[in-house]
Structure formats: structure tokens, C-alpha cells
Chains A and B, each alone.
Chain A
Amino acid sequence: MSEASTVPAPPRGLGAIGSVLGRPVRSFFGYFGDHALMLWKAMFWLFRRPFRPRLFLEQMEFIGVGSLPIILLVGFFSGAVSAQQTVRALKLFGQERFVGATVGLSLALELAPVFTALMITARAGSGMATELGSMRITEQIDALSTFAVNPIQYLVTPRIMASLVMLPVMTMVFNAIGLIGAYVYAIFVGGVDVGSFIEHFRYLTDPSDYLQGAIKAAVFGVALALAACFQGFNVRGGAKEVGLATTRAVVAGSVSVLIIDFFVGDMLGVIFPFQS
């Protein structure tokens, strides 16, 4: 049999167009489908014995306590910078007394959850991808299977759940330190009256604003941990591929946080309509 007869003929006409257009579509759905499958398995194994609480606590410590210094630093300056720009803008209208409320709202609804998620993606997400990638190429994940331990349950489920829990907590820390930064700048540099700052903040912000921020943060937590675990878990090759997977994990995590922010923000806007 000649070689030519064993090679399938390339598609022609509409088939060729469909083949060319279909490839990225298949790749797109395959990519999201694989993520969804990993998330489903992680949730499935969450409710099966053994529960291993130590692994959850270790990951909560890594994601939460380990990220505390960077969250405090970034949170303080984010609040201060927001106050700086807000004071400058509101002074044009003589309304700088609203700076506490403005910064408080923007922190609660956007800045705190998004910046916290981006910081944790950069610090903990990259760490997760590198750790799982290294475990994959050194056969540690295969070793888990040989001891009848499900690698998804042992490695992925605790990371996703810890991230789901710790992102809202760290977001609240970001909110608190961000408000302190805003307060320090507005009162001591911007010359805003302390009473006005506090009174307008209390009047215009609501616990539901913080709830919205916490819900967003929880969704971001799942997305960034899933992206990191997926990239790390599926590394094939060596050290170079681990590095590439880490880069992909940070990019995918950051991009997904910003895209999810838009859609979740819209949905939460319907659930929690703004009340003046």
C-alpha cells in the first residue's frame, strides 16, 4: 500500500473552512471544559473521606497568613492613593468631605477584592502552580496514586477551598488597612475634617457593600486557585515547562479575576441594588 493512500485527504471547500474555524472553537471549549472537570472533581472529593483538615489549614495559612504583609502594604497605599486622587478631584467642587465615603465604597466594591485577588494570584497562585508542577515532573503525584490517595482530593481540593475561604478574609483586611491609609492621607495631608470623613463614610456605606466585595472575593478565590492548580497539575516535561506553567497560571488567574469582576459585579448589582 502506498504511503499516500494511508494519509487522510485534507478537507476541501466548506469542510476546510469548518476545520480551520472549528479548531480554535474546540480548543476554547476544551480549555474551559477541562477546568470545569477539574473543579467538579475537586468538589466531588471534598465530601468524601478522608477529610484531612490539616491540609486545608496549611493552605489557609499559606494563602492567608503568608500573604498578610503584602496585603497590608498594598492595602495601605491603595487607600492612601485613592484618597489622594479623590481629595484632589472633590476639592474642585468643594466636596472633599465625601472622601471617606467615596474611598470606602470603591474599596469595598472593587479595589479590595480585585487587588487582593491579584496580589494572591501573584504570590500564592504562582506558588501553587510551581509546587504542583514540580510534584508532577518528579513523579510525586504518581506516588500519591500508588498509595491509593486521590491526587485531586489531596492537592487540588484543599487549595481551592482554602482560597475560597481566605480571599474574603484577606479582602476585609485590605478594606480595613485601605481605610486607614485613606484616613491618614485625607486627614493629615488633605486637610479633610475628621468628623465629615467618618460621618459620610458611615452614612453612605452599607454592610451589603462589604458583602458584595466578599462574594466577589470568594469567586475570585476559586478562579485563581483553579487556574493555578490546573496549570501545575498538567505540566509535562521539565523545569522549563514548570516555569511556563507558572507564568500561564498568573496570567490566567489575573485575567479571569478581571473578567469575572465585570460579570459578577453586574449580577451583584441586580441582587443588591444601590440605595441612596
Chain B
Amino acid sequence: MPASPSPSQSPRPPAGKPYQENTEQLQTANPQWQIRVRGLNKTFGPQHVLRGLDLDLERGKINIVIGGSGQGKSVLMKHLMGLLKPDSGHIYVDGQDIVALSDVEMAKLRRKFGMVFQYAALFDSQNVVENIAFPLIERYNLSRDEIMARVRELLKRLDLEGVGGIEQKFPAELSGGQRKRVGLARALIDRPEILLYDEPTTGLDPVATKNVDEMIMQTSHDFGVTSVVISHDMASTFRIADRVSMLYDGKILVTGTAAEVLRAPDRPVREFVEMAGLTVPPPEASA
């Protein structure tokens, strides 16, 4: 009977890697890859959502994970945040395996993350300032003046300061685009290293979609964060992505730059590209 792999061992090497990766490499902070996912499996009852998923997310870049509905994109996102525990597999954030962390350790590590939810998930009972200040109030013992200074600075940087008295408005009084920006402000207030966006352009008109795309690029540039975007909006993805990974059938089917993914021969990728009406760049364009 073959010996079962020990928990410390990476269960499988990442697809397409030319060398044998060992656990020690994964457990060391890597200058290029901030998040490394290996052999992630998750089932919900009879449904096997993630099937040994491997993924590398590049530090300081815009990493977009695309895929159709029901492919497990949101499940993957919740694993990255530690909101779900996998059945097996590892998620290394700066070399630290978050799967093995206790709730208290995970709570500390979450300070590295900010998350922008699909519909912003602003707290209905709090106004814009209270929503943005929420992480600071909960995590630190700061004075009201310090908190307000941080909130005002962020509102200014995100072009939200003084927009129709937005500070005192409640989420129900905001437009879809404003909600996204306030959600982003709340995610950024504690200066995270990693920003996760869950379907940021869903339900927005083309102009608002373009604005959100610009917001993601500007945030990545200005704040130097690692952006991880879950999306099925192909046009938006190829406008802003530094790195694209396609999730299909619980695994990453293809990963690379936008141009590389556009040229990938796999059928699900081709269908996605054709349905989005995107044109494939010539080989020299990607060089």
C-alpha cells in the first residue's frame, strides 16, 4: 500500500511547471508570487466545486480569474479570504499556509486583505463615513479625529469628497457606482496588501463598467496592492488584467497574460472569447 502524502507536502505540483516544487519553496515569501494555491479541493454535498486547483497570483499586479457561472469563482475567493476551509489543499500567502491557521491567527492575517463585494455589501444601518471607518473602529483604538482624517484622505483620493454630501448618506441613497467606490474605500482604509474584487462590474452599464475598470487600475497603481478580480466580464478583463487565469470545471484551465489567454486553443476559452466578441492579437503583439 503506497504511503499517503504527509500534510506538509504539497499534494501536487502546479500544472505546467518545469521543475519539481517543494513545500519549502512554497513556504518562503516569493518576490513575484504573493498568493500560491496548490491542490485545492472543495465539495458541497455531492457537488465537487474545486478539483485540485493550482493558482499563482502575482504581487502588485491585477490578477483576474475568469470563468462561467457556477464554476466556483466565488468559492475560490472565499477560500483566499479564509472564509471557507478546503477539504484538502494549501493556500500560501507570503509563504504562510492559511489553511492551517486557527481562527485567531486567520483574523490577524485578514488585515492583509481587503474585499470589494459584488454589490458592495455596505452596512445598511450606517452612513458612508461609518461604513468606511468600520475596519478602523473594530481593529484599533484610534481617536475620532484620527479616524476621520483617514476617512477624509481616502474620500479625497477616490474622488468622493464632498460629492453631494455623500459622507452622511446611507447606502440606499447611493448610485451603483458610488456604492462600489464606497465599498472600495472601506476595503482600502486599513491599507491592505491584497485587494479582492468579487464580480466588480456585474449589473453596471458600460459607462459605469469603464469607471470601475479605471478605479481598479488606478487603485492598483496608486496603492501598490495585489489585486485579485473574480469576473466573467471578458471585455473588462482584457482591458485591465496583467494576468488572467481561467477557471473551468474546478481547475485553472489556462493562465498567462491577457494576450496568451486570448490565443489559448482550449474550447472553453475559445467559446468565452468568441461570445465576448474579442479579437485575438497576432503573435508578435504579445512579444
Contact = CB atoms under 8 A, between A and B. Distances in A.
A145 B121 CA distance: 12
B117 interface: yes
Contacts of B83: 142, 145-146
A142 B198 CA distance: 12
Contact of B111 (A134, A148, A149): A148
Contact of B115 (A135, A140, A143, A149): A143
B138 A148 contact: yes
B12 interface: no
Contacts, number: 43
> Range of interface residues on chain A?
10 to 19
A139 B121 contact: yes
B65 interface: no
A147 interface: yes
Contact of A139 (B111, B119, B139): B119
B238 interface: no
A147 B119 contact: no
Nearest to B135: A147
Given A50-B138, A146-B83, A139 B107 contact: no
A148 B108 CA distance: 8
B117 A139 contact: yes
Contacts of B78: 142
Nearest to A143: B121
A145 B124 CA distance: 16
A140 B123 contact: yes
B138 A149 contact: yes
B117 A147 contact: no
Nearest to A145: B83
A146 B113 CA distance: 8
Interface string B112-146: 01110111011110000000001100110000000
Contacts of A147: 110, 134-135, 138-139
A138 interface: yes
A139 B111 CA distance: 19
B184 interface: no
A145 B115 CA distance: 11
A122 to B, nearest CB: 21
B115 A138 contact: no
Nearest to A58: B125
A142 B110 contact: no
Contacts of A50: 138
Contacts of B135: 147
B138 A142 contact: no
A138 B138 contact: no
B81 interface: yes
Contacts of B122: 140
Contacts of A139: 117-119, 121
Contact of B81 (A138, A140, A146, A149): A146
Given A146-B115, A148-B138, 18 more contacts: A50-B138, A135-B124, A138-B124, A139-B121, A140-B122, A142-B83, A142-B117, A142-B121, A143-B115, A143-B117, A143-B123, A145-B83, A146-B83, A146-B113, A146-B114, A147-B110, A147-B134, A148-B110
Interface of A: 50, 134-135, 138-140, 142-143, 145-149
Interface of B: 78, 81, 83, 107-108, 110-111, 113-115, 117-119, 121-124, 134-135, 138-139
5 contacts: A139-B117, A145-B81, A145-B83, A147-B138, A148-B110
